[in-house]
Amino acid sequence: MQDVLTKLGLQAQNNGTSTGKNFFGSGDAITSWSPVDGKTIGTVTTTTSEEYEKVVATAAEAFKTWKEVPAPQRGEIVRQYGDILREYKEPLGKLVSYEMGKSYQEGLGEVQEMIDICDFAVGLSRQLYGLTIKSERPAHHMQEQWHPLGIVGIISAFNFPVAVWSWNTALAWVCGDVTIWKASEKTPLTAIACQNLFNKVAEANDLPEGISNIITGNAQVGEWMTKDGRVPLISATGSIRMGKIVGTEVAKRLGKSILELGGNNAIIVTPDADLKMTTIGTVFGAVGTAGQRCTSTRRVIIHDSIYDKVKDALVKAYGQLSIGDPLDEKNHVGPLIDKDAVKAYQYALDKVVEEGGNLIVEGGVLEGPGYESGCYVKPAIAEAKNSFEIVQHETFAPILYLMKYSTFEEAIALQNGVPQGLSSAIMTNNMREAHQFLSASGSDCGIANVNIGTSGAEIGGAFGGEKETGGGRESGSDAWKAYMRRQTNTLNYSPDLPLAQGIKFDI
């Protein structure tokens, strides 16, 4: 791993505060350790309140210059960043895997998402379109146009330590905004690596200091930014509890927020489902990233006529899973992020049994050679009811709940019958069921899939969910509008001053 750290410009001691080209930091040191083997990767100094003020001031100054750069030229900077990510895809993907614990293939996939959003943003830089509107007044021209917001604050979570930052950052940059990134204190080194790579682009293009910035630390550091009126937009990814705090604080100052919070994602399996496709989609959705995706499959709602068949297929598939070092591509499942996550996993298993559930694939914490970190657990399956308290709650771990349905309407009610509303799926070859699922009377989630699982999304579509998932949208489609302010313009090119609505005002 040392060669990876060297390639990415990471030393044993790293400053976790940066205003573009300059790194500094004099706060407390936090240790980044790997859940893969329990070893220390490095230490990072955190941001002090004085240093936070320096970051914001530098970012605000950079915005004055950056917003005046033509959008296609801003897109060129993003293009170059995408190219350098291609060059460093392998070491950055390995660091993501080692620091967070996801499989190496998923680590590479996360960097590929960064590359993809850069490509998307480059094209977008020539398409920040407005509208022209016909005026009711003669010789008047109306239009809508979009302007940069200013500083965009980004609070990211450990499970996607680099991709979600890039979703926000690439769009913010081409829109003319500058960014301040509060990375997860559980995965700080990947953030510093991303900043190191940006600095190569910044130096090659003689960019002003402060377009891309990092602050590091615990929740207090994020709180400074959340309460800061100089930061008009906060994009926060994390738990529902965290999102409610962030959303409340930003709303108090009438700021804007994009909230990407928890999911409690279900797959409906109908009698017309392809069993092989269902098994693959469900297992990957449930155990990929050790169940630590906001889009991870938590519930499977199965028609009673095929319930035993689907259950048996899933139990058999779970018996073939290999759990271990995520950098070894023979393994399917890596570790949880830390021992607190292990405790939450154990609590959920105890709770589902206490509430009357039945464990058909028992879990447990793995011990012995290869599992020294204490963060490896067995993916578990429980038969449960949707009404169970623990089922209504998102547990960030590989626990899958199975339940039956009799009618399609019942299946939809079960699917929608949780507080969260991020991702959903149906497995069916029945055209009517597929279209019903996608209709206004179907899934109430921000993402609804047919014949693919709940986990995984493409850059082209806006990503986000409803209800307690927060309602935010990031990444593709027209998500760029959240990073800009809309302005309506009316231009009068007549010699008169007619008023709207035919109002007469003569003096």
- Indicate which residues carry an active-site annotation: 260
Distance from C-alpha of 92 to C-alpha of 326, rounded to nearest angstrom = 15
Quickly count: other Cβ atoms within 10 Å of residue 72's Cβ.
Answer: 14
Residue appearing with tokens 């630390």: 217
Radius of gyration for the alpha carbons in the chain, expressed in angstroms and rounded = 24
Strand 265-269: give its sheet, edge to edge: 358-361, 380-383, 399-405, 297-303, 265-269, 423-427, 447-450
Distance from C-alpha of 490 to C-alpha of 142, rounded to nearest angstrom = 4
Dihedral, CA atoms, 247, 107, 100, 45, nearest 10 degrees?
A: -80
Distance from C-alpha of 74 to C-alpha of 360, rounded to nearest angstrom = 54
Cβ proximity of 175 and 120 under 8 Å: no
Give phi and psi for 355, each to the nearest 5.
Answer: -85, -5
> How are beta strands 233-237 and 17-19 bridged, if at all?
unpaired
Structure tokens, 82: 């995408």
**What's at 240, amino acid-wise?**
I
Structure tokens, 144: 């809508």
Cβ proximity of 348 and 401 under 8 Å: no
Nearest CA among 294, 249, 299 for reference residue 446 = 294
Distance from C-alpha of 176 to C-alpha of 71, rounded to nearest angstrom = 7
Terminal-residue alpha carbon distance, the chain? 79
